Structure 1
Amino acid sequence: MPNNTITKNDIKELPLKHFEGVINVIENPLQADAIAEKLQKEKIIGFDTETKPSFKKGVSNNISLLQLSTEEEAFLFRLNITGFNGELTRLLSNPKIKKIGVGIRDDLRGLQRLKKFTPKGFVDIQELAPKYGIEVLSLKSLAGLLLGIRISKRQRLSNWEADALSEGQKLYAATDAWAALKIYNKIKNMKPVTQ
C-alpha cells in the first residue's frame, strides 16, 4: 500500500478505534471558563466542532459543540447551553497554543458567527498534509493512513442540541478532536517532501 493514500476498502479492514481517555461534557458557563483557563497551560490540543444538521435548504444552525482534546482528556463544550465567550475565545486566540484540526475553516467561521474573535495558533491538517506528500484529506482517511485505525462517522448527523448527548455522540465528538491531535503528532515526525 503506498504511504500517501488509502482506499475506502483499505480503511474498512482497519480496527475500529475511539478515544479512550476521560470525556468531560461542559454545560455550565462557569465550568467552561475554568476549563478553558486550565487548557491555557497546554502547548497543543485537538480541535473540532459539531453543528445540529439542518435538512432544510438555506437553513443552517449555529455550532452546538466545541471539542478540545489532549492525549488523555477530551472536553466537550455545549455552546448551545454555555454560550461562547470569555476564556474560550481567549484560548482560541492564544498564538502560543497550537489548536489542531482537519478542515477547520468552516468551524472557525461558525464560531465567529457566535462571537467575533481572532483565531490564532490553528493548524489545519488539510493544509499541512500535502507538504508531506499525503494525498488524503478527510479525518477518516488520515486516521486510516497515518494511525492505522478506522474511526466511526456514524454520529455526524445526529442532534447535537439534544437534552443530553448519547454515549455514542460523546465518543464520536471526543474521537474527532483526539484523532486530529494524534495525526498531527505523527506528521511532525515525518520528513516533508521537497518542493
Structure 2
Amino acid sequence: MEKTITKEELNQLPLKHFEGRVDVIEDINIIEELVKELEKHDTIGFDTETKPSFQKGKVNQVALLQLATNEKAYLFRLNKTGFHPSLVRLLSNPQIKKVGVGIRDDIRGLNRLVPFKQAGFIEIQDHVKGVGIEDTSLKKLAGLVLNFRVSKRQRLSNWEAPHLSEGQILYAATDAWVAIELLNKLQEEFPHAQAQTI
C-alpha cells in the first residue's frame, strides 16, 4: 500500500458515496430505540458536523452527529433534539468501537454540549501512522486505502438549515461510513497492527 497520494492521482479515482439506508433524526422520542439498534453492533462509524463560523473567535455548537453501520447511517440533528442521554451512553460505552478520522475535535465539540467520558473511540489517523501511511485526511485515506474518492463539497454548508439537502445527507452519511470501511481494510492489510482507542 502506498504511503502518500497526489491530488492528480486522487482525481483519477472513481467517486463513491454511502449507498445504504440513511435516517435523518429530528424526533427526540425515537432516539432511545435507534441507539438500542446501534448498541447491537460492536463497531460503528462516527463523525459530527458543525455550521461553519466565518467570524473570528465564534464557534458554533455541533449540529449533527453521524453514526453508521455498513448498511445504515443515522444522522442525529442535535441542534433540534439536543444531545440525548442515550447517545451519551453509547459514546461512553467501551464495548462499542466508534471509528472516525480526525475525531478529537468532534469529541470536544460534543463535550461542550454535555460533558461525558468518551470510551471506545478509534482514531484512524493514529492507526495509519503506525503502518507508515503519511497522508491522513479522510479524502486521501479513502483514495490510498479504498481506491475511491469522496466528495467534500458540502463540508462548509449550513448544518443548522431547517432541512438538510440531499447532498448534505449523502456527504454526512458517507463520512461516518467510510471510517468503518477504512478500519476493515486496514485490519485486513495489516493484521498485526492493533487499533488503539483514545
Q: TM-score band, normalised by the shorter chain? A: over 0.9
TM-superposition CA deviations, 1:155-175 (whole Å, max 9, x none): 000000000000000000000
For residue 91 of structure 1, what is the aligned residue in structure 2?
90
1:85 deviates by 2.7
How many residues were matched structurally? 192
* Structure 2 Cα separation of the partners of residues 31 and 185 of structure 1: 30
Matches within 5 A, 1:132-147: 132-147=131-146
TM-score by length of 1: 0.96
User: Is the contact made by 1:132 and 1:190 (CA closer than 8 Å) also made in structure 2?
Assistant: no
- Deviant stretches of 4+, over 3 Å: none
1:33 deviates by 1.9
> The residue matched to 1:157 in structure 2 has which SS?
coil
* Structure 2 Cα separation of the partners of residues 19 and 6 of structure 1: 22
Matched, 1:127 2:149: no
* Structure 2 Cα separation of the partners of residues 142 and 114 of structure 1: 29
Matches within 5 A, 1:140-159: 140-159=139-158
For residue 166 of structure 1, what is the aligned residue in structure 2?
165
For residue 196 of structure 2, what is the aligned residue in structure 1?
none
> The residue matched to 1:132 in structure 2 has which SS?
coil
1:190 deviates by 2.1
Matches within 5 A, 1:50-65: 50-65=49-64
Matched, 1:73 2:75: no
For residue 115 of structure 1, what is the aligned residue in structure 2?
114
RMSD: 1.0
* Structure 1 Cα separation of the partners of residues 41 and 26 of structure 2: 22
TM-superposition CA deviations, 1:35-63 (whole Å, max 9, x none): 11211111100000000011111101000
Which blocks of at least 5 consecutive residues in structure 1 are unaligned? none
* Structure 2 Cα separation of the partners of residues 26 and 85 of structure 1: 12
* Structure 2 Cα separation of the partners of residues 117 and 188 of structure 1: 29
* Structure 2 Cα separation of the partners of residues 94 and 17 of structure 1: 31
* Structure 2 Cα separation of the partners of residues 186 and 5 of structure 1: 17
For residue 178 of structure 2, what is the aligned residue in structure 1?
179
* Structure 1 Cα separation of the partners of residues 57 and 163 of structure 2: 27
* Structure 2 Cα separation of the partners of residues 80 and 112 of structure 1: 14
